[in-house]
Each structure stands twice: as C-alpha cells, then as structure tokens.
C-alpha cells in the first residue's frame, strides 16, 4: 500500500536582513533569533526552502529549532481549551478526501467524502439499484437487515427529510439534486456509527485508551447517527470512489453537530488536515486527518492563526481582503489591483468537498495582468506539457483573509517576541492581524497521467463570491471553531500515518478486531465504463479519473462444499485456468486502461470536482443568495436543499 507523501512546508522571508552567524532570509531562523525584524510569508515548498538556505551558505540543522514552536503552541492550545476528543485518518479519492464511517451492529464500513459545503450524511443501502457497486465505489452496499441497531425513521422522527404518509407508508424522504446533473434519493434512517479506527477492519469495542490519536479508541465515539439510506444515485455520485458523503457544514443535521448533540464530543469544533499523494489506490491512500471536538497541534508545523467566520449558519464564510502573486524566484509579492469591495462581493466559502478553487471573475483581469508580468505569458487552464520543476517556477497565490483580531493579538502577545508567521502585518500595515493563506503552484496545478500534462485548477469565473476548495486547504490543518465563529489555519504536513504508527504496534492478534474488509486491490478486475464528462456553461471539467480495479467479490471454496481430493483438485485446476485467462486479458488491455501510476518527478494526481459539488461549476452565486443552484429549495439553516421529486 502506498501512503500520502510527506512534503514539508516552511516559512520564508519576504525581505533579507542579516542574522547572527551570517545566516539570513528565512523565517525558520527568525524563530530562533527573535530579534530580527524580517518579513515572513508562509508556505514555501520544502525543496525550494532547502535550495535557498544552501545557496546562502546556511545550515539545514536549524530546522530542528522548530520543535520549540511546536511545544510552545501545544501548551498554548491547551490554554485555549481546544484539546480534541478524537483524531481519525483521511484518505484520498478522485480529488476529494474521504473518511471511514463504520455503521451498524456489527459495524459495516462506508467511505464518505468529508464536505463542509453540505449538511447531510448519506450512502447507498441494499435497495439501491445501479448505484456504482462494485464498479466504482470502494465498499459493498450497506445491508440494513445485517445490523441489529438499524432503524428506519418514521415521520415523527424526521431530522432532515420530508414525511411520506398514507397507504401504509410512514417514513422520511430525503434527497439532493445538483446543478451539473448529479442527484441522490434516500429515506432517513438511524444506526450506531463511529468514524475512523482501522481502515480494513471493524472494531468491536473501545480499548479504553486516552490519546485522541489512538485508532483503537474510536468505538468510544459511536453514537446514534441519522443519515440518508440512499436508494438511487445519478452522475458523479455514482462514479466517485467513495461510497457516500459526510455533511460537515453548520447545520443541525451535520455529522459533527450530531456528535455534539449526542454528547459524544464536548465542543462544537473540528479540523481537517489535507495532504495529497501522487497515487490513489482503491485499498486506501492516506491523505491527512480529521480531528473531532478540537484540534491536535501534533499535526502543526507552525502556529495556528485565525480568520473570522462571516455566517452563523450554513456555509463557512470568510472575507477576502487582498490577493497577491509571489514569484518563485523573488520574496516580493505583487498585490492585485482590485478593491476589497469587489473581492468581498457575494459570499466566499471554505468548502472541503470542492476539489478546486473558483474565484470571483471580478479579479480575473487583474490576476491575468499580474500573472503575465511575472510569468511572461497568459494565464490559462489549457493543458501544458511541462515538467514538475517548471510547475514550481509559477507564482504562489497569497490570499489575505480578514483575521480574528482579538485572538491573533493574544497569540502574538503570548509568543514573547517570537515571530508569528501567517499574519499579514508585513504585507499590510493597516490590517496586520489578517491571515495570509498561501497556495503554491504544486497545489493549484494538477497532473493528467494519461495525457502527461499539467492543468491549472484555480478558476476565475464565479459571478459573485468565491469557493476556496480543497487545493487551498491543502498543506494546512484547518480548524472550524463553530462555537466561536472562526477558522484557524496552521501549516502542516498532515502526516497522520507517522503520528498513528506507535498505536498500531502490538495489536496483530487483538480479539477486538472483526474480520477484515475485503481488499478491493485483490478482487477480480473488470474494466469500468468511462463516464460522461461534466460540462457546464462556465467550466469544462475533464473526464473523471477512474481506477482500473473493481471491488468484485472473490469466490470462496471451503472444505464443507468440496471435501474430496479429486473435487478439490478439479476446482484448483479451474481456478488456475481462470487466473491465466484473466492474466492474459490484463496484459492485452493494459495499454488502454486508465492508470494512477505517476512518472518520476511528477507532483500531483489529476482530479475532478466530486459529485457533492458539481453545482460549483455553474454560473455562480447570485448576489445575496446563500447557496448556489440546488433545484428544490427549502432554505433550511442557510443551506438551500430540497427533497427529490
């Protein structure tokens, strides 16, 4: 199994001022020599940081000094009362990040996209016909009758759905329809569920651990969750890698809110830490962590700084004040010539379920002008035949977001003169407590492994407002402090795999572990049909990437079925023949299959917008609207959602 890459990100100075020992121009040293007044802007790729240090005659040993900051902020986080209840691993899908959701008694795994842009949690159940299993989704359908704790809700128990009564019917109807054509329909149900734990095996009970990072501690956080038991899927919901979706916006039906309401977590807080690997495996590619009930600074490389949330319910809105482009070969950032009023017109939301970023079209002309001045050619979403090294030569996009001034000032005061990176005070003296979120080119460029080209996925076509998608969140632990109306940003490698490794030792023969979930990577292959690409008026999305391995069920031959040696020998001969035929077919069709294997030096996986966010591709927000483009609207909790016809 291949796990998420461990790219490190460091701060780098925007100006050069001599430091003790002749070492200069990087904010890592500024943490050690706190008297220096150098300018810090976050998120320089590790390879570039190392190159600049060595070019200036510096020593890489000073990287070790950052542990002082981690321990300091770890103490600071406890003072802020943000100690988490649970940390769970995230995995990489087709441009999205998904979590393991174990539901039922005994638990059945359902993989769900983590989406801060919607409220409902839903996945396909046994009655779902032609719902992407086993051709596309990782897991089998959820079998309601196999769970002793499953309950189909009646009209008096509806949390989100619409009552269907009469003619012997009494249930809650639920569904979603999106502007790009995807939809799902479901009935509302309830079962005992927990998130995280082990990826390939259910846990039958809590190990009584006390560390939030311990995966064997996950069953403690099981709670009676209400969700959509899907009976029909269309579009990208059918062809995505993950089985379903986990709604994490600010609404009563959201997954985190249900955890809080049940008393499973103590605080209305969670964080998402996204990394991205150069390969996706159906068996699971680790790509970050999700923290419930708080934040865990063990994931952080730098101090967390905070932006204000602009809406009390629904989407998580932020206020963009300024935008900059910083060349790869210069510390000086160029501000776009666009007013704050134009940047902030309409809502700007942080949406983990949207793969790419869709920015207001009011910034398009200024962005392209600054880009051409820096790069020497026009900005384009057209495929480019360039190398990974050439990708790193493009500018870093810096977003200046309105900060939580009170909290950010407290963080500065508690630092004892130590420089806090991630704040705007060196770029904007009038708004020094704003937050700078950096998006390096390795995050907004993606690689098409089939065509061997890179594509820029920072779009400038939203009619009103902007959507900051997963490629902006990547490389940060993004903390959604719902009860205090703020979002925290801390640079991070999001290396959950390394942090959780000590807890996995010594559990090989644990009786608490149920039989393994079948490994899709070892299942018989059947090449899936290629889905129709999603094309909308504003954005043409390339064809969705598909895995070339199906989650079929292997045939089990037991001694109770075929007990004689002659019978067993015959069966083995048949199996051997089938294996040889399958191997021949694999070899014959190998050149035509889509693949996720990356060439040496390639940085990113080509991705697409997931089904949960297809509506992001449309004309955009209308001024004053809460949400973009659901067909049926009941505008509950600031999110326009509706029932299926």
* 9-26 pLDDT per residue, tens: 223 223 222 222 222 222
**pLDDT of 414 over the 70 cut:** yes
Q: What does the pLDDT look like over 554-604, one tens digit per residue?
A: 222 233 334 444 444 554 555 565 555 555 444 443 333 222 222 222 222
State the pLDDT at residue 205. Answer: 86
> Could you tell me if residue 438 is inside a domain?
no
Strands 201-203 and 108-115: unpaired
Q: Helix crossing, 405-414 with 66-79: angle to 10°?
A: 130
For residue 404, give both structure tokens. Answer: 């939580």
Band the pLDDT of 220: cuts 50, 70, 90.
very high
**Higher per-residue pLDDT: 527 or 100:** 100
Band the pLDDT of 294: cuts 50, 70, 90.
very high
Give mean pLDDT, residues 430-449.
94
> Can you give the residue range of the structural domain that contains 161?
91-292
> Could you tell me if residue 187 is inside a domain?
yes
**Higher per-residue pLDDT: 453 or 80:** 453
Share of the chain above pLDDT 70, in %: 66
> Could you tell me if residue 485 is inside a domain?
no
**pLDDT of 538 over the 90 cut:** no
State the pLDDT at residue 454. Answer: 94
Q: What does the pLDDT look like over 241-255, one tens digit per residue?
A: 999 999 999 999 999
**Higher per-residue pLDDT: 223 or 518:** 223
Cβ atoms of residues 88 and 100 within 8 Å? yes
Nearest to 242 by CA among 94, 131, 121: 94
Place of tokens 């806090």: 420
State the pLDDT at residue 179. Answer: 63
State the pLDDT at residue 493. Answer: 93
State the pLDDT at residue 331. Answer: 82
Cβ atoms of residues 544 and 533 within 8 Å? yes
**pLDDT of 229 over the 80 cut:** yes
> Could you tell me if residue 588 is inside a domain?
no
State the pLDDT at residue 613. Answer: 35
User: H or E stretch including 89?
Assistant: strand 86-92
**Higher per-residue pLDDT: 611 or 262:** 262
Band the pLDDT of 503: cuts 50, 70, 90.
confident
**Higher per-residue pLDDT: 581 or 56:** 581
Give mean pLDDT, residues 329-342.
92
State the pLDDT at residue 553. Answer: 30
Residue 37: count of CB within 10 angstroms of its CB: 10
State the pLDDT at residue 511. Answer: 62
Find the distance separating the first CA and the last CA of the chain, reported in whole Å: 42
Q: What does the pLDDT look like over 76-129, one tens digit per residue?
A: 544 457 889 999 999 998 878 999 999 999 999 999 999 999 999 999 999 999
Burial grade of 576 (CB within 10 A; 0-12, 13-18, 19 or more): exposed
Band the pLDDT of 142: cuts 50, 70, 90.
very high
Dihedral (CA of 69, 74, 79, 84) sign: positive
User: H or E stretch including 566?
Assistant: helix 565-589
Cα dihedral 627/633/639/641 (nearest 10): -110
Q: How far apart are CA 156 and CA 159, in angstroms?
A: 9
Q: What is the mean pLDDT of the chain?
A: 74
- Provide CB contacts within 8 A for 99, sequence distance 6+: 88, 89, 90, 91, 111, 112, 114, 195, 196, 246, 290
Share of the chain above pLDDT 90, in %: 51
State the pLDDT at residue 577. Answer: 58
**Cα 47 off chain centre by:** 24
108-125 burial code (b ≥16 CB/10 A, e <16): bbbbbbbbbbbbbbbbbb
State the pLDDT at residue 75. Answer: 43
Q: How far apart are CA 460 and CA 357, in angstroms?
A: 9
Cα dihedral 632/635/638/643 (nearest 10): -50
Q: Looking at residue 136, which CATH number applies to its domain?
A: 2.40.70.10
Inter-residue long-range contacts of 203-210, CB under 8 Å, 24+ positions, other chains counted: 203/102, 203/107, 203/512, 203/513, 203/514, 204/106, 204/107, 204/512, 204/513, 204/514, 205/512, 207/512, 209/503
Q: Mean pLDDT highest for which of 71-80, 431-440, 601-610?
A: 431-440
Nearest to 289 by CA among 277, 301, 275, 279: 275
Q: How far apart are CA 77 and CA 221, in angstroms?
A: 22
> Could you tell me if residue 621 is inside a domain?
no
> Could you tell me if residue 281 is inside a domain?
yes
> Could you tell me if residue 516 is inside a domain?
no
State the pLDDT at residue 615. Answer: 31
For residue 323, give both structure tokens. Answer: 């935008």
Instruction: Give the count of domains, the chain.
Output: 1
Q: Which DSSP category does 617 fall into?
A: G
> Could you tell me if residue 469 is inside a domain?
no
Q: How far apart are CA 113 and CA 607, in angstroms?
A: 14
Give mean pLDDT, residues 611-638.
30
**pLDDT of 361 over the 90 cut:** yes
């Amino acid at each position: 199994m291949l796990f998420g890459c461990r790219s490190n990100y460091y701060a780098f100075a925007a100006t050069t001022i001599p430091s003790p020992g002749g070492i200069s121009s990087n904010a890592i040293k500024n943490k050690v020599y706190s008297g220096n007044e150098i300018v810090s802007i976050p998120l320089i790729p590790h390879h570039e940081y190392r190159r600049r240090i060595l070019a200036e005659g510096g020593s890489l040993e000073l990287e070790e000094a950052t542990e002082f900051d981690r321990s300091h902020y770890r103490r600071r986080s406890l003072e802020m009362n943000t100690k988490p209840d649970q940390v769970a691993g995230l995995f990489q899908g087709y441009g999205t990040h998904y979590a393991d959701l174990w539901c039922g008694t005994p638990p059945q795994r359902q993989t769900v996209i983590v989406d801060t842009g919607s409220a409902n949690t839903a996945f396909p159940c046994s009655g779902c016909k032609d719902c992407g299993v086993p051709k596309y989704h990782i897991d089998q359908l959820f079998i309601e009758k196999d769970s002793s704790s499953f309950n189909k809700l009646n009209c008096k128990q509806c949390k989100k759905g619409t009552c269907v009564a009469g003619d012997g019917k009494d249930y809650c109807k639920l569904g979603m329809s999106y502007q790009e054509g995807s939809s799902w329909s479901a009935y509302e149900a309830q079962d005992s569920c927990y998130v995280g734990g082990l990826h390939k095996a259910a846990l039958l009970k809590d190990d009584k651990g006390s560390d939030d990072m311990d995966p064997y501690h996950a069953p403690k956080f099981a709670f009676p969750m209400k969700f959509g038991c899907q009976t029909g899927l269309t579009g990208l919901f059918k062809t995505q890698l993950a089985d379903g979706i986990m709604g994490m916006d600010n609404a009563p039906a959201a997954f985190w809110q249900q955890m809080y309401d049940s008393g499973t977590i103590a605080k209305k807080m969670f964080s998402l830490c996204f990394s991205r690997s150069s390969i996706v495996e159906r068996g699971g590619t680790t790509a970050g962590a999700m923290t419930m009930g708080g934040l865990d600074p063990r994931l952080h490389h730098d101090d967390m700084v905070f932006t204000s949330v602009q809406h009390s319910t629904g989407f998580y809105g932020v206020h963009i004040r300024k935008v900059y482009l910083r060349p790869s070969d210069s510390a000086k950032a160029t501000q776009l010539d666009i007013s704050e009023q134009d940047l902030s017109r309409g809502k700007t939301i942080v949406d983990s379920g949207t793969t790419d970023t869709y920015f207001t079209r009011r910034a398009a002309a200024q962005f392209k002008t600054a880009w051409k001045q820096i790069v020497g050619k026009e900005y384009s979403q057209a495929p480019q035949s360039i190398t990974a090294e050439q990708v790193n030569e493009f500018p870093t996009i810096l977003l200046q977001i309105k900060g939580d001034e009170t909290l950010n000032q407290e963080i500065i005061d508690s630092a004892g003169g130590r420089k806090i990176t991630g704040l705007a005070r060196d770029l904007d003296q009038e708004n020094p407590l704003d937050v700078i979120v950096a998006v390096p080119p390795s995050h907004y460029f993606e690689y098409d492994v089939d065509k061997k080209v890179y594509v820029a996925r920072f779009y400038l076509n939203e009619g009103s407002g902007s959507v900051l998608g997963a490629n902006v969140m990547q490389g940060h632990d993004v903390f959604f402090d719902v009860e205090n109306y703020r979002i925290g940003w801390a640079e991070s490698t999001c290396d959950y795999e390394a942090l959780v490794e000590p807890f996995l030792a010594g559990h090989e023969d644990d009786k608490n572990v149920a039989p393994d979930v079948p490994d899709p990577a070892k299942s018989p292959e059947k090449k899936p049909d290629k889905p129709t690409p999603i094309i909308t008026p504003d954005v043409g999305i390339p064809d969705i990437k598909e895995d070339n391995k199906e989650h079929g069920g292997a045939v089990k031959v037991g001694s109770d079925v075929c007990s004689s040696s002659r019978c067993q020998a015959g069966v083995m001969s048949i199996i051997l023949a089938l294996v040889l035929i399958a191997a021949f077919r694999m070899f014959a069709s190998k050149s035509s299959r889509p693949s996720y294997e990356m060439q040496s030096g390639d940085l990113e996986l080509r991705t697409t917008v997931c089904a949960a966010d297809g509506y992001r591709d449309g004309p955009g927000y209308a001024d004053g609207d809460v949400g973009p483009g659901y067909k049926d609207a009941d505008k509950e909790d600031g999110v326009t959602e509706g029932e299926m016809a």
